[in-house]
Amino acid sequence: MKAVVVYEAGGPEALQCREVPTPEARPGWTLVKVRGVGVNHSEIFTREGKSPSVSFPRILGIECVGQVERTFNARLHAGQTVVSIMGEMGRAFDGGYAQYALLPDEQVYPVSTSLPWEQLALSPRPTTPPSVRWKGFALRTATTCWCAARRREWGSRF
C-alpha cells in the first residue's frame, strides 16, 4: 500500500511517500480502508520531533474516516463506514496517512450517513487556528506526495 512515512524528525520534507506492506487484521484489531484524513497540529509536532514518546519510522495521522476492510469483531463488518480518532493512533502505532490503517477495535466507531465521501473526509475546520491551517496547506503543497485531506481516492501523485 502507499503511505506517508516519517523516518526522522524534520520539516515537511520528512514526509516520505513509500510503498509499505499492508497490515493484516488480527483479533482485537480492524483493518480500515482510509478514505480521508485530517491535518492536526499534533501530527506537525510529532513530525518535528516534539513528541518524545514517538519512535520513527511512523505513519502519522490521528484521525481518519473510511470503510472496514477486514475484522474479527462481531460488531463490525466489511464495507461499514467508520471513523477513528486519537487513542495513540499515529503515535504508538501507525495512523491514517496511508491507504489502510490497522486500528484497535475499541477505537473504531461505526457511523451511518448518506453524505458523500468528500464531506465525510476530515480536514482543518474554520475554528482551527490560522497557523495550523496554513501549516496544513504548506504540507499539502510543499510535498509532492502528500495524501491531502478531503481526497476521495489515492491519485496518480504517488
Residue among 28, 57, 33, 60 at smallest CA distance from 46: 60
More confident residue, 149 or 123: 123
Rounded to an integer, the average pLDDT of 49-77 is 94
- What does the domain layout of the chain look like in residue ranges? 2-142
Q: What is the CATH number of domain 2-142?
A: 3.90.180.10
| Coil, strand or helix at 14 | helix
Query: pTM for the full model?
Result: 0.75
Which tens digits make up the pLDDT trace of 85-127?
888 999 999 999 999 999 999 999 998 877 776 665 544 444 4
Which tens digits make up the pLDDT trace of 23-45?
999 999 999 999 888 777 888 88
